[in-house]
Amino acid sequence: MNFDYTEEQQMVRDSIARFVQDDYDWDTRRAIVDSDEGMSRENWQTFAELGWLSIPFSEADGGFGGNIVDMSVVMEEMGKGLVVEPFFPTVVLFGGVVARAGDEAQRAEILESVIGGETLGAFAYVERQSRFAINDCKTTATANGDGYTLNGEKVVVFNGENADKLVVLARTSGGQFDEDGLSLFLVDANAEGVSKVCYPMMDAQRVANITFDNVQLGAGALLGSEGGALPVVNDVVSEALIALASEAVGIMGTLNAKTLEYTKTREQFGVAIGSFQALQHRMVDSMMAYEQAKSLLFKALCEYKIDPASAEATIHALKVLIDRNGKLIYGEAIQMHGGMGITDELDIGHYAKRLMMINATLGDGTFHRSKFIESTYAAA
Partner 1 sequence: MDIALSAEDLAFRDEVRNFLDTEFDAEMQAHLKSRGSKGMVEWQQKLYAKGWVAPNWPVEHGGTGWTATQKYIWESERSLRGIPDVVPFGLVMVANVIMAFGTDEQKEYFLPRILKSEDWWCQGYSEPGSGSDLASLKTKAERDGDDYIINGAKIWTTYAQHADWIFCLVRTDNSGKKQEGITFILVDMKSEGIKVNPIIGIDNEHNLNEVEFNNVRVPAKNVVGEVGKGWTVAKALLAHERTGIAGVADIKRNMRLIKEAAASEVNGGQRLMDDPGFQQRMADIEVELMALEFTELRTLATMAAGGFPGPESSLLKIKGTELQQATQELRMEIAAYYQGVLPTDMDPEVLGHEFGSDARRAFMYGRAATIYGGSNEVQKNIISKYVLGLE
User: Under rule CB under 8 A, which residues in 260-299 are in contact with a second copy?
Assistant: 276-278, 280-281
- One residue of 19, 159, 349, 355 binding partner 1 per CB under 8 A: 349
- One residue of 141, 186, 301, 329 binding partner 1 per CB under 8 A: 301
Size, binding site for a second copy by CB under 8 A: 5
Q: How far is the CB of 314 from a second copy (least distance, A)?
A: 26
- One residue of 35, 144, 305, 310 binding partner 1 per CB under 8 A: 305
CB-based burial, 261-292: b 16+ in 10 Å, e otherwise: ebbeeeeeeeeebbeeeebeebbeebbebbee
Phi, psi torsion values for 125, nearest 5 degrees: -135, -15
Query: Within 13 Å, how many C-alpha atoms sit on residue 284's CB side?
Result: 7
- Residue 114 CA to residue 94 CA, distance in Å, equals 9
Strand pairing category for 165-171 and 121-124: parallel
Q: Which stretch binds partner 1 (CB under 8 A): 94-102, 140-148, 219-227, 269-277?
A: 269-277
Contact 187, 210 (CB under 8 A): no
Q: Which stretch binds partner 1 (CB under 8 A): 82-90, 105-113, 224-232, 296-304?
A: 296-304
- One residue of 48, 108, 191, 287 binding partner 1 per CB under 8 A: 287
- Residue 215 CA to residue 224 CA, distance in Å, equals 19
Q: How far is the CB of 107 from partner 1 (least distance, A)?
A: 27
Site membership for partner 1, residue 131 (CB under 8 A):
yes
- Residue 277 CA to residue 287 CA, distance in Å, equals 15
Site membership for a second copy, residue 377 (CB under 8 A):
no
- Residue 122 CA to residue 47 CA, distance in Å, equals 17
Residues 147-186 within binding reach of partner 1 (CB under 8 A): 153, 155-156, 177
Binding mask 222-261 for partner 1 (x = CB under 8 A): --------------------------------------x-
